[in-house]
Amino acid sequence: MNIQERYLDVLRLKDEAAVRSKRSKEDIAILGVTKTRTAEEINQAIDAGITDIGENKAQELVEKYDNVKPVRWHFIGQLQTNKVKSIIDKVVMIHSVDSIKLAREIDKRARAVGKQMDVLIQINSAMEDTKAGIPAGELKNIVSEIAAECDNIRICGLMCLPPIATEPEDSRPYFREARVLFEEMKTWGFPENKVMPTELSMGMSGDFQVAVEEGSTMVRVGSSIFGPRNYK
Ligand SMILES: *Cc1c(COP(=O)(O)O)cnc(C)c1O
Protein backbone atom coordinates (compact mmCIF):
# COMPACT_ATOMS: atom_id res chain seq x y z
CA MET A 1 0.00 0.00 0.00
CA ASN A 2 1.15 3.54 -0.63
CA ILE A 3 0.86 6.53 1.68
CA GLN A 4 -2.49 7.62 0.26
CA GLU A 5 -4.02 4.15 0.65
CA ARG A 6 -2.72 3.79 4.19
CA TYR A 7 -3.96 7.25 5.14
CA LEU A 8 -7.43 6.52 3.76
CA ASP A 9 -7.44 3.28 5.78
CA VAL A 10 -6.58 5.13 8.99
CA LEU A 11 -9.22 7.76 8.21
CA ARG A 12 -11.86 5.06 7.72
CA LEU A 13 -10.92 3.24 10.95
CA LYS A 14 -10.91 6.54 12.87
CA ASP A 15 -14.35 7.44 11.49
CA GLU A 16 -15.71 3.96 12.29
CA ALA A 17 -14.45 4.28 15.87
CA ALA A 18 -16.19 7.66 16.08
CA VAL A 19 -19.49 6.22 14.88
CA ARG A 20 -19.15 3.28 17.28
CA SER A 21 -18.74 5.63 20.18
CA LYS A 22 -21.54 7.93 18.99
CA ARG A 23 -19.19 10.80 18.31
CA SER A 24 -19.05 13.09 15.34
CA LYS A 25 -16.27 12.17 12.89
CA GLU A 26 -15.32 15.81 12.44
CA ASP A 27 -14.48 16.10 16.13
CA ILE A 28 -11.40 13.89 15.79
CA ALA A 29 -8.41 15.09 13.77
CA ILE A 30 -5.63 12.92 12.41
CA LEU A 31 -2.14 14.19 12.98
CA GLY A 32 0.34 12.53 10.63
CA VAL A 33 3.50 11.88 12.62
CA THR A 34 6.36 12.53 10.24
CA LYS A 35 9.55 11.88 12.22
CA THR A 36 12.21 10.21 10.03
CA ARG A 37 10.11 10.86 6.89
CA THR A 38 11.33 12.87 3.96
CA ALA A 39 9.69 16.07 2.76
CA GLU A 40 8.60 14.15 -0.33
CA GLU A 41 6.78 11.51 1.74
CA ILE A 42 5.14 14.25 3.80
CA ASN A 43 3.98 16.01 0.64
CA GLN A 44 2.41 12.76 -0.56
CA ALA A 45 0.43 12.60 2.67
CA ILE A 46 -0.65 16.22 2.24
CA ASP A 47 -1.80 15.43 -1.32
CA ALA A 48 -3.80 12.54 0.16
CA GLY A 49 -5.62 14.96 2.45
CA ILE A 50 -3.56 15.32 5.64
CA THR A 51 -3.91 18.81 7.11
CA ASP A 52 -1.89 18.44 10.32
CA ILE A 53 1.51 16.89 10.91
CA GLY A 54 3.60 16.32 14.02
CA GLU A 55 7.37 16.25 14.53
CA ASN A 56 9.17 15.31 17.72
CA LYS A 57 12.58 16.87 17.07
CA ALA A 58 13.10 20.59 16.56
CA GLN A 59 16.06 20.21 14.23
CA GLU A 60 14.24 17.77 11.99
CA LEU A 61 11.23 20.06 11.79
CA VAL A 62 13.36 23.04 10.83
CA GLU A 63 15.26 21.04 8.19
CA LYS A 64 12.09 19.91 6.43
CA TYR A 65 9.97 22.98 6.94
CA ASP A 66 10.78 24.84 3.71
CA ASN A 67 10.36 21.77 1.50
CA VAL A 68 6.94 20.77 2.75
CA LYS A 69 3.70 22.12 1.27
CA PRO A 70 1.54 24.40 3.44
CA VAL A 71 0.22 22.35 6.37
CA ARG A 72 -0.34 22.81 10.09
CA TRP A 73 2.81 21.75 12.00
CA HIS A 74 2.58 20.47 15.58
CA PHE A 75 5.43 19.80 17.95
CA ILE A 76 4.91 16.55 19.88
CA GLY A 77 8.26 15.59 21.42
CA GLN A 78 10.40 16.52 24.35
CA LEU A 79 11.41 20.12 23.77
CA GLN A 80 14.64 21.59 25.10
CA THR A 81 14.34 25.24 26.07
CA ASN A 82 17.18 26.24 23.74
CA LYS A 83 15.22 24.84 20.75
CA VAL A 84 11.99 26.75 21.35
CA LYS A 85 13.17 29.77 19.39
CA SER A 86 13.71 27.72 16.22
CA ILE A 87 10.14 26.37 16.05
CA ILE A 88 8.00 29.06 17.66
CA ASP A 89 7.04 30.76 14.38
CA LYS A 90 6.47 27.43 12.58
CA VAL A 91 4.07 25.43 14.73
CA VAL A 92 0.38 25.86 15.54
CA MET A 93 0.56 23.81 18.72
CA ILE A 94 3.10 22.38 21.16
CA HIS A 95 1.69 19.16 22.67
CA SER A 96 4.43 18.45 25.14
CA VAL A 97 4.62 21.15 27.80
CA ASP A 98 5.60 19.52 31.08
CA SER A 99 7.38 22.18 33.13
CA ILE A 100 6.97 25.81 34.09
CA LYS A 101 10.51 26.41 32.86
CA LEU A 102 9.60 25.28 29.35
CA ALA A 103 6.35 27.26 29.47
CA ARG A 104 8.23 30.44 30.41
CA GLU A 105 10.58 30.03 27.47
CA ILE A 106 7.68 29.40 25.07
CA ASP A 107 5.92 32.46 26.47
CA LYS A 108 8.99 34.63 26.01
CA ARG A 109 9.61 33.46 22.44
CA ALA A 110 5.94 33.73 21.50
CA ARG A 111 5.90 37.31 22.74
CA ALA A 112 9.00 38.08 20.69
CA VAL A 113 7.29 36.98 17.46
CA GLY A 114 3.95 38.50 18.45
CA LYS A 115 1.82 35.38 18.77
CA GLN A 116 -0.12 33.50 21.38
CA MET A 117 1.08 29.90 21.38
CA ASP A 118 -1.45 27.12 21.79
CA VAL A 119 -0.09 24.34 23.98
CA LEU A 120 -1.16 21.09 25.60
CA ILE A 121 0.08 19.84 28.93
CA GLN A 122 1.64 16.40 28.65
CA ILE A 123 0.59 14.16 31.48
CA ASN A 124 2.50 11.16 32.71
CA SER A 125 -0.31 8.88 33.72
CA ALA A 126 1.85 5.85 34.36
CA MET A 127 4.22 7.74 36.68
CA GLU A 128 7.14 6.38 34.73
CA ASP A 129 10.41 7.89 35.81
CA THR A 130 11.91 7.77 32.38
CA LYS A 131 9.18 9.49 30.46
CA ALA A 132 8.24 13.11 30.07
CA GLY A 133 5.01 14.50 31.39
CA ILE A 134 3.69 15.70 34.70
CA PRO A 135 1.86 13.54 37.24
CA ALA A 136 -1.91 14.02 37.28
CA GLY A 137 -1.76 15.40 40.81
CA GLU A 138 0.36 18.34 39.70
CA LEU A 139 -1.78 19.32 36.73
CA LYS A 140 -3.84 22.02 38.38
CA ASN A 141 -0.75 23.64 39.87
CA ILE A 142 1.10 23.93 36.60
CA VAL A 143 -2.01 25.16 34.77
CA SER A 144 -2.51 27.87 37.42
CA GLU A 145 1.13 28.93 37.22
CA ILE A 146 1.13 29.16 33.44
CA ALA A 147 -2.19 31.00 33.39
CA ALA A 148 -0.90 33.49 35.95
CA GLU A 149 2.51 34.11 34.40
CA CYS A 150 2.39 33.43 30.68
CA ASP A 151 0.28 35.91 28.73
CA ASN A 152 1.41 34.56 25.37
CA ILE A 153 0.34 30.97 26.02
CA ARG A 154 -3.08 29.43 25.80
CA ILE A 155 -3.53 25.96 27.28
CA CYS A 156 -5.83 24.02 24.94
CA GLY A 157 -5.94 20.66 26.70
CA LEU A 158 -3.87 17.56 27.37
CA MET A 159 -1.55 15.15 25.68
CA CYS A 160 -1.36 11.55 26.83
CA LEU A 161 1.42 9.13 25.89
CA PRO A 162 0.90 5.83 27.71
CA PRO A 163 3.61 3.18 28.11
CA ILE A 164 4.31 1.15 24.97
CA ALA A 165 1.48 -1.36 24.76
CA THR A 166 1.42 -4.81 23.25
CA GLU A 167 -2.37 -4.81 22.96
CA PRO A 168 -4.49 -1.74 22.09
CA GLU A 169 -6.66 -2.47 25.13
CA ASP A 170 -3.63 -1.96 27.41
CA SER A 171 -3.83 1.77 26.71
CA ARG A 172 -7.50 2.15 27.58
CA PRO A 173 -7.09 2.81 31.33
CA TYR A 174 -4.56 5.59 30.60
CA PHE A 175 -6.81 7.17 27.99
CA ARG A 176 -9.72 6.97 30.38
CA GLU A 177 -7.74 8.69 33.12
CA ALA A 178 -6.65 11.43 30.72
CA ARG A 179 -10.26 11.98 29.72
CA VAL A 180 -11.32 12.39 33.36
CA LEU A 181 -8.58 14.99 33.89
CA PHE A 182 -9.56 16.76 30.68
CA GLU A 183 -13.18 17.01 31.81
CA GLU A 184 -12.05 18.28 35.23
CA MET A 185 -9.95 20.94 33.58
CA LYS A 186 -13.03 22.33 31.85
CA THR A 187 -14.59 23.09 35.24
CA TRP A 188 -11.65 25.06 36.67
CA GLY A 189 -12.90 28.38 35.39
CA PHE A 190 -9.71 30.03 34.17
CA PRO A 191 -10.17 32.89 31.67
CA GLU A 192 -10.72 31.47 28.18
CA ASN A 193 -7.83 33.38 26.68
CA LYS A 194 -5.53 31.45 29.04
CA VAL A 195 -7.10 28.03 29.43
CA MET A 196 -9.59 26.62 26.92
CA PRO A 197 -9.56 22.82 27.05
CA THR A 198 -10.82 21.65 23.67
CA GLU A 199 -8.12 19.16 22.66
CA LEU A 200 -7.24 15.74 24.01
CA SER A 201 -4.24 14.46 22.06
CA MET A 202 -4.03 10.69 22.42
CA GLY A 203 -3.79 7.52 20.37
CA MET A 204 -1.02 6.28 18.03
CA SER A 205 -0.84 3.64 15.30
CA GLY A 206 -1.34 0.77 17.73
CA ASP A 207 -4.21 2.15 19.76
CA PHE A 208 -5.88 5.12 18.03
CA GLN A 209 -9.27 3.42 17.73
CA VAL A 210 -9.36 2.82 21.48
CA ALA A 211 -8.30 6.44 22.00
CA VAL A 212 -11.21 7.66 19.87
CA GLU A 213 -13.59 5.51 21.89
CA GLU A 214 -12.20 7.13 25.05
CA GLY A 215 -12.60 10.70 23.86
CA SER A 216 -9.49 11.65 21.89
CA THR A 217 -9.87 14.73 19.69
CA MET A 218 -6.51 14.29 17.96
CA VAL A 219 -4.84 11.00 17.14
CA ARG A 220 -1.10 11.04 16.36
CA VAL A 221 -0.46 8.38 13.74
CA GLY A 222 2.93 7.67 12.18
CA SER A 223 3.74 4.16 10.98
CA SER A 224 0.18 3.23 10.02
CA ILE A 225 0.27 6.05 7.48
CA PHE A 226 3.91 6.12 6.40
CA GLY A 227 4.94 2.50 6.95
CA PRO A 228 7.51 1.15 9.43
CA ARG A 229 10.18 3.61 10.54
CA ASN A 230 13.87 3.12 9.83
CA TYR A 231 15.88 5.06 12.34
CA LYS A 232 19.17 6.26 10.93
C1 LIG B 1 6.27 8.61 17.04
C2 LIG B 1 5.18 9.21 17.83
C3 LIG B 1 3.83 8.95 17.53
C4 LIG B 1 3.38 8.02 16.42
O5 LIG B 1 3.81 6.72 16.58
P6 LIG B 1 3.31 5.52 15.62
O7 LIG B 1 3.31 4.34 16.48
O8 LIG B 1 4.28 5.45 14.50
O9 LIG B 1 1.96 5.89 15.15
C10 LIG B 1 2.86 9.58 18.30
N11 LIG B 1 3.18 10.41 19.30
C12 LIG B 1 4.45 10.72 19.61
C13 LIG B 1 4.73 11.66 20.73
C14 LIG B 1 5.49 10.13 18.89
O15 LIG B 1 6.77 10.43 19.20
Reported as a single tens digit per residue, the pLDDT across 188-218 is 999 999 999 999 999 999 999 999 999 999 9
- Are the C-beta atoms of 177 and 137 separated by less than 8 Å? no
Helix H or strand E encompassing 196:
strand 195-201
User: Ligand 1 centre from 162 Cα, in Å?
Assistant: 11
How far does the centroid of ligand 1 lie from the alpha carbon of residue 190, in Å? Answer: 31
Q: Is the pLDDT of residue 130 over 80?
A: no
In a domain, 48, yes or no: no
Q: pTM above 0.85?
A: yes
Residue 53 lies in a domain: no
Using CA positions, which residue lies closest to atom 5 of ligand 1?
A: 222
Q: Which of 37, 95, 97, 96 is nearest to 61 (CA)?
A: 37
21 falls within a domain: yes
CATH number, domain containing residue 16: 3.20.20.10
Does residue 57 form part of some domain?
Answer: no
Name which residue sits closest to atom 6 of ligand 1, judged by CA: 222
Q: What's the structural domain count of the chain? A: 1
**What pLDDT sits at residue 128?**
62
Residue-number span of the structural domain to which 143 is assigned: 3-28+94-226
For 43-77, the pLDDT digits (tens) are 999 999 999 999 999 999 999 999 999 999 999 99
Could you give phi then psi for residue 77, rounded to 5 degrees? -110, 180
> Which of 9, 13, 33 best tests ligand 1's pocket when mutated (most atoms within 8 Å of CB)?
33
**Which residues sit with their C-beta closer than 6 Å to ligand 1?**
33, 35, 56, 76-77, 161, 204-206, 220-224
Domain-embedded: residue 100 = yes
In a domain, 12, yes or no: yes
Cα(140) to centroid(ligand 1), Å: 26
Residue nearest (by alpha carbon) to ligand 1 atom 7: 205
Kindly state the percentage of the chain with pLDDT values over 70: 97
For β-strands 52-55 and 72-75, DSSP reports them as parallel
Note the pLDDT of residue 230.
75
